[in-house]
Structure 1
Amino acid sequence: MNTLSYLLLNTVYKLQGERSVNGAIHLLRGKRSAQTIQDIHLFSLETYAASLKQWPEEDINKMVTALYREGFLSQSNQTTILTMKGTDWLKEAADHCELPSAFHGFKYEWDGKADYFWERLVLTVQTVSNLVNATPSFIPVSYDRLIQKDVKSLLKAHPDRSKLGRQLYSELKSIYEPWDEQDAALLVKRFSSNKKTGKTISQLSALFNHDRFYTFIYCKSLIHKMLDSISGTPDLFPVLSQLLPRIEGEPYVTQTARQTKDLLNKGFSLEEIAEKRKLKLSTIEDHVIEIAIYDRIFKIHEFLPEQERLDIIKASERLNTNRLKPIKELFQDRYTYFQIRLALATSRKGGNYDTAR
């Protein structure tokens, strides 16, 4: 049992027996669907979201099989729950298996922000190191054309390579200096230069005596920590801030949901949008749920009056469930599944819910 097992078991636990193990895996792997996005919000799983996006699917499947076989997970009415054995282990493992506090999957992994930044950073460090040391010919750490193009643009904006190297070193040093020495060393060892090749996750795992997945997640958390510093005070990092991703529109809303939102803003009804986009009405409703979660001024009352929204939320709390069917039955089919989902999706908005609009 390790950090990877803990992550899945704790996700299943937080889903409160209302989703299958596949629902948990979709969330952890960052599947872009309305249901997954709603579950992240509804069950407060922002930290864990997309944490397994890059982890081998085969490893995840093997782990799930093992957790069932060893009696940590159980199937119940098409949903997955923890057994008593699983719950006991989860409590014992919490102190040493929880994800690092700096890790935030939904903020940095969901849309690939961390990878975008890191891939450009390591190539920039390698390139500047080789150019400053008069080694113009080297094997790049990335052959991705977009990444190479961005790094070339950065170099073009800073023709004085020595000055660029000093500035880059200064900015990295100011980020790493307050850190624990081992944390700084962990990331520095991943950089390639004119003199060395950066270490892989497996090599770092052996070097720092951690399991491979924990090392992977810990490195990710340090990148997240870097991004917090740079995005929080970009003026202090004139070079590093140029490597940040440029996100247009609502960062967490899928492109297809944005298209539906554009049509809603033009006054089209859900039925008209479905016909215009040649999609099912239920798909357009999924988009509305997705938009409602992350757009603070979305006009929810056009689909669900405020008092009805509150009634559904209170019923969910009274029944102690987020499952749609029991809530629908309680109201004797007075509300549609779409309206119930919309109410639950906005139940954590609190003061952000704009009733005036």
Structure 2
Amino acid sequence: MLFSDLILAIMKPLNRQRTISSPYHLIKGKKSGQTIQDIGYFGLYPYFGIFPKLDKKAYDQVVQSLFLQGYLLANEQVIELTEKAINTSDFDTPLNGWKYRGNENLFFNRLSLIVQTLSHMSQSVKTFDPIVNNEEIQMWVKKYLQQIQFRDIAVVQAFKKELFTTLTDSAISETHKMILTERLTGLALSGLTWQQIATSKKLSVLDVQLMTVEALHGWMAEIEKSNPPLLLGLMEGVIQQSSLTATAQRTEKLFERGFTLEQIASLRQLKTSTIEDHVVELAMNDPYFNFKPFMSLELYKAIITESRRQQSKRLRDIKVHLPNASYFQIRLALSIKEENQ
């Protein structure tokens, strides 16, 4: 997937319902109520937080190119796709941003330093400049290597075999695999820069970086599936154990103890609207969420019916026809998986 493909993939379900900057916040992993809700509303889980350091100017340049290529129409309020964009094929991608939340970088940094260390130590070269400067990662790798008895040549061979076997079996293209291996550093072999890889592949740097994230997500999925004992250790702390953000988890615990939204807001010294965001997130991730303390079944059905009639999830448009419903109630209703009610 190219970066322009990524933006189009996000924009298609958001068409005429969200602003042109919405995909940017989603890709960056912004934890605002609006962004978190949109993930559930529009099924955008794969794309969340895959570029936490994405530059706004770089994003705007790609969006501008979509205008020039005839994929977008000028609209100051919302995304408006052309027929050309709407008719583009859906993109297959191994991305799983909601699950990994950017931790693929942690996995790859650990791997890079381990590969570099094993490469040097197997040739009796004991001093080198570590490719990863982060002290926490360096300490983790040192402990890991001691645990696996890395000085044993059989362990080194086993690690190498797991690496190549899982990468080979991963559901990603050969280009994706090549990009990953070209980023690794070993004895007398330096990993290539983003620009070097982009030039050699005739791609943009953003395209190469996106393909790297895709490759890592596909690779980590294969590691989870096949459970290779040595590589599986690198997954420690990488997988998001809860589908909720950390702040929503804290609200959930108080809510389960019977506190009202206002009481939770007071206890946590947060705005009630922020706690409402958390409740919407809880509903989005819990198929058994009970919405009845917040609205009647009749109101819930009315909101869903109106959303379907308009073929839209824009809160303002729904509220015009249901003035008695609060924005919180509308957001909450739209977050609930209808098949579970």
Cα 1:163–1:296 shift into 2, 3 Å:
farther
> 1:118 pairs with 108, 118, 138, which one?
108
Q: Is the 8 A contact 2:104 2:238 kept in 1?
A: no
Q: Distance in 2 between matches of 1:119 and 1:249?
A: 18
> Which residue of structure 1 lines up, in the alignment, with residue 125 of structure 2?
135
After TM superposition, which residue ranges in structure 1, 4 or more long, deviate above 6 angstroms?
Answer: none
Q: Does 1:75 align with 2:75?
A: yes
Cα 1:55–1:107 shift into 2, 3 Å:
same
Q: Distance in 2 between matches of 1:248 and 1:192?
A: 25
Deviation at 1:202, TM superposition (A): 1.8
> Which residue of structure 1 lines up, in the alignment, with residue 97 of structure 2?
105
Aligned 1:275-290 pairs, distance under 5 A: 275-290=266-281
Residues 234-285 of structure 1, C-alpha deviations (whole Å, 9 max, x = no match): 2xx1111111142698533222211111111111100111112221111110
Q: Does 1:57 align with 2:56?
A: yes
> Which residue of structure 1 lines up, in the alignment, with residue 291 of structure 2?
300
Structure-2-length-normalised TM-score: 0.88
Other structure's SS at 2:136 match: helix
> Which residue of structure 2 lines up, in the alignment, with residue 221 of structure 1?
214
Q: Does 1:158 align with 2:157?
A: no
- Which segment is superposed worse, 190-199 or 98-107? 98-107
Q: Does 1:193 align with 2:192?
A: no
Other structure's SS at 1:240 match: helix
Q: Distance in 1 between matches of 2:157 and 2:240?
A: 35
Cα 1:120–1:306 shift into 2, 3 Å:
farther
> 2:177 pairs with 167, 180, 184, which one?
184
What amino acid is the match of 2:54? Answer: W
Q: Is the 8 A contact 1:293 1:345 kept in 2?
A: yes
Other structure's SS at 1:135 match: coil
Cα 1:165–1:73 shift into 2, 3 Å:
farther
Deviation at 1:65, TM superposition (A): 5.0
Q: Is the 8 A contact 1:289 1:341 kept in 2?
A: yes
Other structure's SS at 1:177 match: helix
What amino acid is the match of 1:261? Answer: E
Cα 1:168–1:250 shift into 2, 3 Å:
closer
Q: Is the 8 A contact 1:116 1:245 kept in 2?
A: no
Q: Distance in 2 between matches of 1:103 and 1:54?
A: 17
> 2:249 pairs with 237, 251, 258, which one?
258
Other structure's SS at 2:21 match: helix
Q: Is the 8 A contact 1:142 1:148 kept in 2?
A: yes
Residues 11-36 of structure 1, C-alpha deviations (whole Å, 9 max, x = no match): 33321211111222111221111210
Q: Does 1:206 align with 2:196?
A: no
What amino acid is the match of 1:210? Answer: L
Deviation at 1:139, TM superposition (A): 1.0
Cα 1:250–1:284 shift into 2, 3 Å:
farther
Deviation at 1:91, TM superposition (A): 5.9
What amino acid is the match of 1:246? Answer: G
| Alignment gaps of 5+ in structure 1 | none
- Which segment is superposed worse, 16-25 or 283-292? 16-25
Q: Is the 8 A contact 2:51 2:102 kept in 1?
A: no
Deviation at 1:9, TM superposition (A): 4.0
Q: Distance in 2 between matches of 1:56 and 1:164?
A: 41
Q: Does 1:16 align with 2:15?
A: yes
Q: Is the 8 A contact 2:27 2:50 kept in 1?
A: yes
Q: Is the 8 A contact 2:45 2:98 kept in 1?
A: yes
Q: Is the 8 A contact 2:106 2:238 kept in 1?
A: no
Cα 1:233–1:300 shift into 2, 3 Å:
farther
Residues 95-133 of structure 1, C-alpha deviations (whole Å, 9 max, x = no match): 6xx75522333333xx22211211111111111211221
Structure-1-length-normalised TM-score: 0.85
Q: Does 1:231 align with 2:231?
A: no
Q: Is the 8 A contact 1:99 1:217 kept in 2?
A: no
Percent pairwise identity: 30
Cα 1:233–1:297 shift into 2, 3 Å:
farther
Q: Does 1:324 align with 2:323?
A: no
Q: Distance in 1 between matches of 2:238 and 2:220?
A: 14
What amino acid is the match of 2:11? Answer: V
Q: Distance in 2 between matches of 1:329 and 1:59?
A: 37
Q: Distance in 1 between matches of 2:240 and 2:208?
A: 33
| Alignment gaps of 5+ in structure 2 | none
- Which segment is superposed worse, 261-270 or 289-298? 289-298
Q: Distance in 1 between matches of 2:142 and 2:251?
A: 37
Q: Distance in 2 between matches of 1:113 and 1:141?
A: 18
Q: Is the 8 A contact 1:100 1:218 kept in 2?
A: no
> Which residue of structure 1 lines up, in the alignment, with residue 264 of structure 2?
273
Q: Distance in 1 between matches of 2:262 and 2:162?
A: 53
